[in-house]
Structure 1
Amino acid sequence: MVLNSDGKKKPFRKQPSNARPVPGPAKPGLQVRAAAAKILAAVVDRKLPLDGALDNEHGNPAYKALNESDRALVRAILNATLRHLPRIDAAISQLLESPLPEGARALHHVLAIGAAQILYLDVPDHAAVDLAVEQASHDPRSRRFAKLVNAILRRLGREKEEILAHVSAIPVMPEWFLQRLERAYGRERAHSISESQLEPAAIDLTVKADAEGWAKRLNGFALPTGGVRLAAFEGGIPSLEGFSDGAWWVQDAAASIPAQLFGDLAGKRVADLCAAPGGKTAQLVLAGGDVTAVEQSENRIKRLRSNLERLGLRAKTISSDLTKYQPEELFDAILLDAPCSSTGTTRRHPDVLWTKGPEDIVKLAALQERLLRHAVAFLKPGGTIVFSNCSLDPIEGEDVVARVLADTPSMERVAIDAKRWPGLEAAISPLGEFRTTPDMLEAPSGFAGGLDGFYAVVMRRVA
């Protein structure tokens, strides 16, 4: 049966806004759902990043007003909603005789977070339904649709398995981005990458030394990148052995690759451009480099310095707009991990594909090319530059490098040897560039698989 605003099979009829009595005091849990709906609206409608809204100091006021356990529930609801949003929208739409009224975005968000709890989270159906109805009743924009919310979500609960099976073939990425992936990787691989977004992101560590030993101490396993992957655990990262001693830091396996492509840096002047939060800077220091870390944001520089201090490592730090930065001396090695669309990180940042669009990818690719051309001028003859980013789109990786190499005779590509990366041979392209995708890297039972999507290339200045 198809339902409308009265929970019955008949067309929508506009009702006066005072048709329902003003609700009483808010039920327990309502503030959590209200915060989730407000933040979902900020992400999907206003294209604001999720991390900013969930910042404990400067985030959304409705979120900051909650205690820590309620904040955790907000995060869980939003992550589930954003990861499955196309399927959630399809599930709701199939129960409506006609689309929601124009301008009913607030109602859409109430339904979406309610559906996410019923379909994808371990929240009792009755709680999800009752609080969604209460939420609609408290909002003058949605009050007249409270019966619709009740009917739709109750039916989702009753027919959960059937509905999940019906929507399971719908890709969880927006159509515009899925089409880009199909052009770059082929249809089968693109859909594999899309599905991998639903896998929980792993917690990976880069260790100063003895990965096998730390894997045993922390009940993890050693990665082919030389780091350690943890199993799920209770408690915070700072509570783990080795944190306070600075023996390791959190860094996705893919993000640890670019700095390793230099090899031994002993006695070399090294620049880490766009350096914060400092994980790659730490790797370059440990490789023996005399490192200068450049970052535009003073706040991000402070975070980088704090991270290096915990690790007991030193690097020169400079706050500067990279397009205006001019070093006093040329460098032997440069790492440019350039700003990008971050589409390779959707497992841990599911908002990315809802806050970015095709025009953002084009603009960021142009910025990356400008930064790379500028950075090449800092490099000594015979020096090496590694260009990397966490985008899945070749426009932000391979295409940028191809243009720079085509009209810069002083630069050449240095092919990465796949034999030196056992377990990740499939990530090395025919040209010898790194291209990881989230559906790569199998893991033992009990551990999350996959890694972030990353691109990296090694280039050398020959003159």
Structure 2
Amino acid sequence: MGFQGDFPSDTPQPCGSPLNPRGPDPLGTAARRAALRLLDAVLRRGEALEAALPAATRAIPGGPDRGLAHAIAAEALRRIPDLDALIDSATKQRLPDDAKARFALRIALVQVLALGTPPHAAISTVLPLVDGGPRKLVHGVFGTLMRGGATLPQVPTLPPATEERWRAAWGEAMIEAAARAIAAPPPLDLTLADGDVAVPEGETLLPGHLRLHDADHVPDMRGYADGGWWVQDIAASLPARLLGEGLGTVLDLCAAPGGKTLQLAAAGWQVTAVDSSQSRLARLRDNLKRNALDANVVRADVLEWQPAAPTDAVLVDAPCSATGIFRRHPDVLHRVRPAVIAGMAEVQRRILARAADWVKPGGALVYATCSLEREEGEDQAETFLAGDSRFALEPAAMPFGTTERGWLRTLPDMLADQGGCDGFFVAKFRRAL
């Protein structure tokens, strides 16, 4: 099921063209059309926002317009329930969820109410996306809301299905914290290879960590070209921290884009990093080179590949729903449903079962996901322990996230006064001798 009507042509048409009798599209329309395609990819087809970006912006020649399209779509995804509430308040009959007029209004409204775009620029670049009656409807609804002084709430509303799922798992305080977390851009965290590197000014929350609250373009930052630090959310740094200083060989499974690989290499481990994505592995190799660190990089599917011999430690940064990184990737709030979570949990179970056989007696197995779903964290760990008597849980101790059960669980309400953190689950298992 698609939009009601086809997309207008990506190519501006001359005045009098049957495709565009009103004249050429206003400057900036292409970026709004790309934002429309991005929203359609996420909300209707369930695609990840970043994965949909190349196809949605293929007709845009310049980088700034591509960035604008991404910014509009991402901000709309943070605020869909509140944008829709405004739209519904100004229509006699509710527009279907897949109506192009609804998508166009979301794009126009979020620009004015969240991104600071002047109303005339927002509506003039959106109207070419719709034709006929829907065009008049979009213009009328937008005008009504502007004249009425429409605003968005300071704290966005979570999508109902996500809110219900997370409330059942974590309670009301987590819901409130999650909503606040998407209201503003998250800070930028850096992991430091050692203490003797050039870094920007920031706040230290853990040893070897730096948090920037007002970050510049990363490649322009102090010390970037010299290496010694890389971008990594503080929660994402926890799995490798549990392995500590290098004591031998380690497998970093599902390793790209490589933050944990860099941590392990910097800590003295002999690292083999395995991932199936060629493009993400290219980024990993670039980061290794920039930071003067070594690792054996292998492109392979971990469900088909196996090492030549058991290893001292295995870190499984398992593929997951990624709901824990919703601050930076708001598309997960809308496209991740129970079927997706169940499918990812099955993949994780299979990877854990294989990885367990690759750990030497006495070695360590760390399992991690950037998910806020128990099925991909707590439930997975309990199932693994119940099914493999060779392993026992080794309690973790960190300044935040440590649970009574002995594993780590980070939530949106943690480190709130310092800018928060991503949602992660991490458990460390030790194989018996």
Q: TM-score under structure 2 normalisation?
A: 0.90
Aligned match for 2:233, one of 249, 252, 256? 252
Alignment-derived partner of residue 264 in structure 1: 245
SS of the residue corresponding to residue 249 of structure 1 reads strand
CA deviation vs aligned residue, 1:376-432 (integer Å, no higher than 9, x gap): 100111101110010001110110110110121111001112xxx33x2xx111111
Aligned with residue 71 of structure 2, among 55, 70, 76 = 76
Tell me the equivalent position of 1:119: 113
The 5 Å alignment of 1:261-410 reads 261-266=242-247, 268-410=248-390
Contact 1:171–1:191 under 8 Å retained in 2: no
Q: Does the CA-based 8 Å contact 2:156-2:182 persist in structure 1?
A: no
Paired letter, 1:143: G
- 1:430 corresponds, among 404, 411, 423, to 404
Aligned partner of 2:104 in structure 1 is: 110
- Contact kept? 2:276, 2:300, Cα under 8 Å: yes
Confirm whether residue 60 of structure 1 aligns to residue 55 of structure 2: yes
- Greater CA drift, 64-73 or 197-206: 64-73
RMSD: 2.2
Once the two structures are superposed, what CA deviation does each residue of 1:201-231 show, in whole Å capped at 9, x if it has no partner? 22111111228x75xx512111236311113
Q: What is the CA-CA distance between 1:327 and the residue it aligns to? A: 1.6
1:156 is matched with: 145
- 3-state secondary structure, aligned to 1:322: coil
Structure 2 unaligned segments of length 5 or more: list them: 1-18
Q: CA deviation at 1:182?
A: 1.1
Distance in 1, Cα, partners of 2:97 & 2:412:
36
Change (3 A) 1:439 1:159: farther
Using a 3 Å threshold, how does the CA distance of structure 1 residues 123 and 225 change in structure 2: closer, same or farther?
A: farther
Tell me, in whole angstroms, the C-alpha distance in 1 between the residues paired with 2:405 and 2:59: 48
Q: Is the 8 A contact 1:341 1:361 kept in 2?
A: yes
Conserved 8 A contact 1:129-1:154: no
Correspondence 1:206-221 to 2 at 5 A: 206-210=191-195, 217-221=199-203
Residues in 1 aligned to 2:416 and 2:266: alpha-carbon distance in whole angstroms: 28
CA contact (8 A) 1:225 1:253 kept: no
Cα gap change, 1:368 to 1:220, in 2 (>3 Å): same
Equivalent position of 1:31 in the other structure: 30
Give the secondary-structure state (helix, strand or coil) at the position aligned to 1:381. strand
Conserved? CA contact 1:225–1:257, under 8 Å: no
Is the contact between residue 412 and residue 461 of structure 1 (CA under 8 Å) also seen in structure 2? yes
1:451 matched residue in structure 2:
421
Opposite residue 109 of structure 2, the aligned amino acid is A
Partner of 2:186: 201
Is contact 1:345-1:390 (8 Å) kept?
yes
Please tell me whether the aligned partners of residues 235 and 424 of structure 2 are also in contact (alpha carbons under 8 angstroms): yes
Is structure 2 residue 124 aligned with structure 1 residue 135? Answer: no
For the 8 Å contact 2:362–2:431, the answer to whether it is kept is: yes
TM-score (norm 1): 0.85
Q: Quote how far apart the aligned CAs of 1:243 are.
A: 1.1
Maintained 8 Å contact 1:118/1:157:
no
1:159-203 Cα deviation digits (max 9, x unpaired): 335x535xx68722x222222211111123223223322231221
Is the partner of 1:60 in helix, strand or coil?
helix
Give the residue type in structure 2 aligned to 1:221. E
SS in 1 for 2:297: strand
Alignment length (residue pairs): 416
Distance across 1 between alignment mates of 2:174 and 2:372:
12
Where does structure 1 differ by over 6 angstroms across 4 or more consecutive aligned residues?
none
The equivalent position to 2:220 in structure 1, one of 235, 239, 243, is 239
Deviations 1:35-78 (A, max 9, x none): 11122111111112111232xxxx12545524222222212211
AA in 1 matched with 2:213: A
Residue 93 (str. 1) matches residue 88 (str. 2): yes
Identity of aligned residues (%): 37
Q: 2:157 aligns with which of 166, 171, 193?
A: 171
In the alignment, which of 386, 411, 415 is matched to residue 441 of structure 1? 415
Structure 1 residue matching 2:189: 3-state secondary structure: strand
Task: Report if aligned partners of 1:225, 1:256 keep a CA contact under 8 Å in 2.
Answer: no
Q: In 2, distance between residues paired with 1:62 and 1:387?
A: 36
Question: Is the contact between residue 171 and residue 194 of structure 1 (CA under 8 Å) also seen in structure 2?
Answer: yes
What is the identity, as a one-letter code, of the residue corresponding to 2:386?
A
Shift of 1:247: 1.5
Does the 8 A contact of 2:57 with 2:66 survive in 1? no
On the 8 A contact 1:221/1:228 being kept in 2, the answer is yes
Q: Quote the Cα distance in structure 1 between the aligned partners of 2:57 and 2:293.
A: 39
Structure 1 equivalent of residue 5 of structure 2: none
Identify the residue that residue 139 of structure 1 maps to in structure 2: none
What one-letter code is carried by the residue in structure 1 that aligns with 2:427?
V
Q: What is the CA deviation profile of residues 323-354 of structure 1, one whole-angstrom value per residue up to 9, with x for unaligned ones?
A: 12222221111100000000001111111122
**In the aligned structure 1, how far is the partner of 2:428 from the partner of 2:310?**
18
Structure 1 residue 443: Cα displacement: 4.6
In structure 2, C-alpha distance between the alignment counterparts of 1:344 and 1:319, rounded to whole Å: 26
Q: Distance in 2 between matches of 1:319 and 1:452?
A: 27
Q: Is the 8 A contact 2:274 2:297 kept in 1?
A: yes
Counterpart of 2:184, as a letter, is: E
Q: Distance in 2 between matches of 1:306 and 1:170?
A: 37
Contact 1:385–1:459 at 8 Å: present in 2 too?
Answer: yes
